[in-house]
């Protein structure tokens, strides 16, 4: 399919001189349209939420895993897709390492842990195997994880993404309707600037942004609850979308990532569990509100 559209765009060669078609012919445009991936709803999946950031190491995977578990605690049916093809962390964070089984329709069955169905390239490649892929292969890997798996039925599919705004992000937004994006950033200028760029990309692609999870601005003493700030108050995440929660830098969060038990599972009564619960509740309320508005709009238009 892609090949035929590429063939159609070959330069036109005439006698000794080369002339390049500047405009697409009708035929070429038709082939291109056929070749472009369609944004199709995933069967049995109500909402898709992407967790993204311009920077690596700011806590995207940690947020994605704990957010997914918190949604599950609210009673939602949840899936977690690891979109970080080159640096998958979901198998470690969720303690799911087994290769997925395949059902009769040749769809992968995402293994489940902590009431969350998980799928990652890390389950399909040997732990020490280097993944050396270029753009088109990365895109097809994402498509396979997204559409080659039996996710149904899900209320929410959370997608953890690699840093930046590369092939994975484009491929995701092209292939599936994304209900919204949660951005994650630390207050470091270097992280804020690139995350802002990421936010602009999603705005351009008309994908709604729910808001920002700020990570590691502060830490709270376990004993006396004193709050230590790591940034000046004016070192802000200004310019980024509204803040949903601010997550502390905390040894328990780091420890839980290493152990493969999300902090909201291991310490359900902790302050961080409360923060993740607030995040899950806010997003789920926003989605409900949106659905009600859509229902009203469609009943008004049919009246
Ligand atoms: N709030 C936090 N407190 C302590 N450690 C954290 C926190 N958030 C993330 N980490 C740790 O930082 C590292 C990077 O986090 P990760 O979620 O993998 O980032 P990303 O997915 O953005 O690359 C991990 O080892 C994780 O345990
Ligand atoms: Mg990650």
List ligand 1's pocket residues with C-beta within 6 A.
53, 56-62, 89, 215-216, 247, 249-250, 253-254, 257
Share of the chain above pLDDT 70, in %: 83
Rounded Cα distance between 65 and 154, Å, is 16
The answer on pLDDT for 185 being more than 60 is yes
**Do 117 and 248 have their domain in common?**
yes
Residues 163 and 27 in one domain: no
Cβ-Cβ contacts under 8 Å for 78 (sequence gap 6 or more)? 68, 69, 71, 72, 115, 116, 117, 154, 155, 156, 157, 158
Q: Looking at the structure, do residues 15 and 58 belong to the same domain, yes or no?
A: no
- CA 179 – ligand 2 centroid, Å: 20
Q: How far is the CA of 81 from the centre of ligand 1 (A)?
A: 17
**pLDDT classification of 24: cutoffs 50, 70, 90:** low
216 Cα: distance to centroid of ligand 1 (angstroms): 9
Percent residues over pLDDT 90 in the chain: 61
For the chain, the domain total comes to 2
Q: Are residues 219 and 163 in the same domain?
A: yes
What integer pLDDT is reported at residue 213 of this predicted model? 97
Candidate from 52, 57, 162, 255 with most ligand 1 atoms within 8 A of CB, to mutate: 57
Closest-lying ligand 1 atom to the alpha carbon of residue 53: 22
List the structure tokens of 35. 């070749």
Please tell me the predicted confidence (pLDDT) of residue 12.
34
pLDDT of amino acid 143: 86
DSSP 3-state of 247: strand
Q: Are 154 and 17 in a shared domain?
A: no
Query: 131 and 194 share a domain?
Result: yes
How far, in Å, CA of 287 to CA of 188, rounded?
30
Pair 102, 150 in one domain = yes
Q: How confident is the model at residue 133 (pLDDT cuts 50, 70, 90)?
A: low
pLDDT band at 18 (very low <50, low <70, confident <90, very high): very low
Pocket test for ligand 1, best of 51, 86, 257, 263 (most atoms within 8 A of CB): 257
The whole-model pTM stands at: 0.86
Domain check: are 8 and 79 in the same one?
no
Task: For residue 243, give the CATH number of its domain.
Answer: 3.40.50.300
Q: Which range of residues forms the domain containing residue 75?
A: 40-302
Q: Do 88 and 15 share a structural domain? A: no
Torsion-angle region of 216 (φ positive above 0: left; ψ -120 to 50: alpha; else: beta): left
């Amino acid at each position: 399919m892609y090949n035929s559209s590429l063939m159609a765009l070959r330069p036109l060669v005439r006698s000794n001189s080369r002339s390049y078609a500047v405009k697409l012919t009708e035929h070429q445009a038709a082939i291109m349209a056929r070749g472009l991936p369609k944004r199709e709803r995933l069967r049995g999946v109500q909402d898709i939420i992407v967790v993204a950031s311009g920077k690596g190491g700011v806590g995207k995977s940690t947020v994605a895993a704990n957010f997914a578990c918190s949604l599950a605690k609210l009673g939602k049916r949840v899936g977690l897709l690891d979109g970080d093809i080159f640096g998958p962390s979901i198998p470690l964070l969720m303690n799911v390492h087994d290769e997925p089984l395949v059902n009769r329709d040749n769809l992968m069955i995402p293994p489940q842990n902590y009431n969350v169905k998980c799928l990652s390239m890390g389950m399909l490649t040997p732990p020490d195997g280097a993944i050396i892929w270029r753009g088109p292969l990365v895109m097809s890997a994402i498509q396979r994880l997204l559409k080659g798996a039996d996710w149904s039925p899900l209320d929410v599919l959370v997608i953890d993404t690699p840093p930046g705004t590369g092939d994975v992000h484009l491929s995701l937004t092209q292939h599936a309707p994304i209900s919204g994006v949660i951005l994650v950033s630390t207050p470091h200028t270097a992280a804020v600037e690139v995350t802002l760029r990421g936010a602009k990309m999603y705005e351009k692609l008309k994908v709604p942004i729910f808001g920002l999870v700020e990570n590691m601005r502060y830490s709270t003493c376990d004993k006396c609850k004193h709050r230590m700030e790591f940034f000046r108050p004016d070192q802000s995440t200004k310019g980024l979308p509204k803040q949903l929660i601010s997550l502390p830098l905390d040894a328990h969060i780091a420890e839980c990532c290493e152990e493969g038990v999300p902090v909201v599972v291991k310490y359900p009564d902790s302050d961080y569990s409360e923060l993740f619960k607030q995040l899950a509740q806010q997003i789920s309320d926003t989605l409900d509100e949106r659905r009600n508005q859509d229902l009203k709009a469609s009943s008004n238009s049919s009246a």
